[in-house]
Structure 1
Amino acid sequence: MYFGAKNISVSFGKEQVLKNISLEIKEGKTTAIIGVNGSGKSTLLRSLGRLNKYEGEVLYQDQELGRLSQREIARHLALLPQKTETPTDITVYDLIALGRFPHQGLMQQRLSKEDEDFLEQIMWDTETWELRDEKLESLSGGQRQRVFISMILAQDTDLILLDEPTTYLDMVHQLEILTLLKSFAEKLGKTVVYVIHDLNHVARFADELLVLKEGQLVASGPVTEVFTEKLIQDCFGLRVRLGEDTFTGHRMILGIQNV
């Protein structure tokens, strides 16, 4: 198995949030995790990134991820949670540059020329280069989100995990970020996994789908097979009609109402 979980369970106090979940993430694909609020999406993502205590196993290349050192994990896996604690007086450039830390030598004090060139390219791709000298505290919510995503991309890992990466972003930047993440999977072979709420974004950008309901994995597989009117009704309580996106040919929700 490239990356995934076997029999993952998570409890907070007496509440069991995830219930014996096993899954496999396809290498080089974009995988979306969906479900209603409280279904366990963020808990699952955090568990895959080893931010939660869990029972079971998280596997990377057929070995338990916890057997690797934190520095080794950081070279293979980058995780952007919903909430991040960062000094607000740090500059945009210095924050994004933290993503290069796992790739630096133990005695290395400064970024190499290759690191600097890589950071600049990432920042141009995410439209943060012109913000490089700004303090984090001066940015809007959408700008901050793009900066944090840039930091994760700067880590240059095989696995990229993001919890609601389009939060605070307007429609234009939502599409830009999701397109960029998709291109990282398709062109660079990155494996991208994210929690997301917008079902039309799921249908347009994701290759694979993990569907949670009440802490259990109820469906998984290619979006073209799993994303159906019945699944949306069963898991979200919504009656929808699916059609075809005029521009991409992908499925999309054309009509919607409560059951």
Structure 2
Amino acid sequence: MLEIKELFSGYEDIDIIKEINISINKGENLFIIGPNGCGKSTLLKSMANIIEYRGSVKIDEEEVSSLDRITLARKIGLMSQTSQIHFPYSVYDTVALGRYAYSKGALSGISKKDKKIILESIENVGLSDLKDKMITELSGGQLQRVFLARVFAQDPDVILLDEPTNHLDLKHQIEILQYLKKWVKDNNKILIGVLHDLNLVHYFADRVMLLDKGEVVSYGKASEVLNNERIESIYGIDIKGFMQNVLEKWR
């Protein structure tokens, strides 16, 4: 279980996230929604202990701020919006970095088990035919899938994804989210993702959290949160009406 109590966090002594209280069971996925600047990315960084927080973030009753880097990497994997290329590695070598937390030392090399997990992770994002290609030669969508594969290879208990479908075409958005949902169920993991596409949220989420100005204003099943009257006032648009009008054009 992931349990968050009385969580506050932000930057330069200014709280962006305020008094978050949620719990998520293994085998569930949660998508966080809300307008730009409401604190979605800050919340993920707090969960991953990238920025300091007040309150409590526990995985299986262990406070994440008390974990060493290796243990934390086995517990939580984060893919942010701004994943960057630091070195011209191949797709395979980039995904292999996800196995660092399981290595026995800098000179230990990659085991047969590691190689199997790396290749499976690459296959699951549809890049097997590009595994030897340099990541500097990839499109934005292909690169996004490489970084997703790296998180899969890390095999953490909790995956945190900030806009994982950025740069992906519709086919790959759906395939990745289908794989994520199955992976979470089959492996008893937890997925927490930030998405702007409310259609995808409606279709794939077990639970949804609506944030506004750093506070939780609605939390529950997708059908409950997305039909809440508050969502219209927060986004400043009749979202349900707009979606229904769009659907009419497909008929």
TM-score (norm 1): 0.89
Amino acid at match of 1:125: N
Q: Residues 27 and 184 of structure 2 are in contact (CA less than 8 Å); yes or no, is this contact kept in structure 1?
A: yes
Residue 12 of structure 1 corresponds to which residue in structure 2? 11
Unaligned residue ranges in structure 2 (runs of 5+): 247-251
Identity within the alignment, % = 35
Once superposed, which parts of structure 1, at least 4 consecutive aligned residues long, lie more than 4 Å away?
none
Of stretches 161-170 and 5-14 in structure 1, the one that deviates more from structure 2 is 5-14
Residue 186 of structure 2 corresponds to which residue in structure 1? 187
Amino acid at match of 1:104: S
How do 1:29-68 residues align onto structure 2 when only pairs under 5 Å count?
29-68=28-67
Q: CA deviation at 1:107?
A: 6.2
* 1:196 maps onto 2:195 in alignment: yes
* 1:254 maps onto 2:222 in alignment: no
Of stretches 155-164 and 5-14 in structure 1, the one that deviates more from structure 2 is 5-14
SS at match of 2:100: helix
Q: CA deviation at 1:241?
A: 3.3
**Cα distance in 1 for residues equivalent to 2:130 and 2:230:** 42
Q: Residues 95 and 150 of structure 2 are in contact (CA less than 8 Å); yes or no, is this contact kept in structure 1?
A: yes
Amino acid at match of 1:77: I
Q: Residues 229 and 241 of structure 1 are in contact (CA less than 8 Å); yes or no, is this contact kept in structure 2?
A: no
**Cα distance in 1 for residues equivalent to 2:236 and 2:24:** 27
Residue 249 of structure 2 corresponds to which residue in structure 1? none
Q: Residues 58 and 64 of structure 2 are in contact (CA less than 8 Å); yes or no, is this contact kept in structure 1?
A: yes
Residue 211 of structure 1 corresponds to which residue in structure 2? 210
Q: Residues 3 and 58 of structure 2 are in contact (CA less than 8 Å); yes or no, is this contact kept in structure 1?
A: yes
Amino acid at match of 1:112: S
Deviations 1:26-47 (A, max 9, x none): 3211110000001100100111
**Cα distance in 2 for residues equivalent to 1:80 and 1:174:** 15
Q: CA deviation at 1:60?
A: 1.2
SS at match of 2:239: strand
**Cα distance in 2 for residues equivalent to 1:133 and 1:48:** 33
Q: Residues 28 and 191 of structure 2 are in contact (CA less than 8 Å); yes or no, is this contact kept in structure 1?
A: yes
**Distance of aligned partners of 1:162 and 1:92 in 2 relative to their CA distance in 1, 3 Å threshold:** same
**Cα distance in 2 for residues equivalent to 1:107 and 1:152:** 20
SS at match of 1:234: helix
Q: CA deviation at 1:239?
A: 1.2
Amino acid at match of 1:152: V
Q: CA deviation at 1:175?
A: 0.7
Q: Residues 56 and 63 of structure 2 are in contact (CA less than 8 Å); yes or no, is this contact kept in structure 1?
A: yes
**Distance of aligned partners of 1:147 and 1:18 in 2 relative to their CA distance in 1, 3 Å threshold:** same
Q: Residues 4 and 48 of structure 1 are in contact (CA less than 8 Å); yes or no, is this contact kept in structure 2?
A: no
Residue 247 of structure 1 corresponds to which residue in structure 2? none
Unaligned residue ranges in structure 1 (runs of 5+): 243-251
How do 1:89-128 residues align onto structure 2 when only pairs under 5 Å count?
89-106=88-105, 109-128=108-127
Higher helix share: 2
Residues matched between the structures, number: 246
Q: CA deviation at 1:108?
A: 5.3
Higher strand share: 1
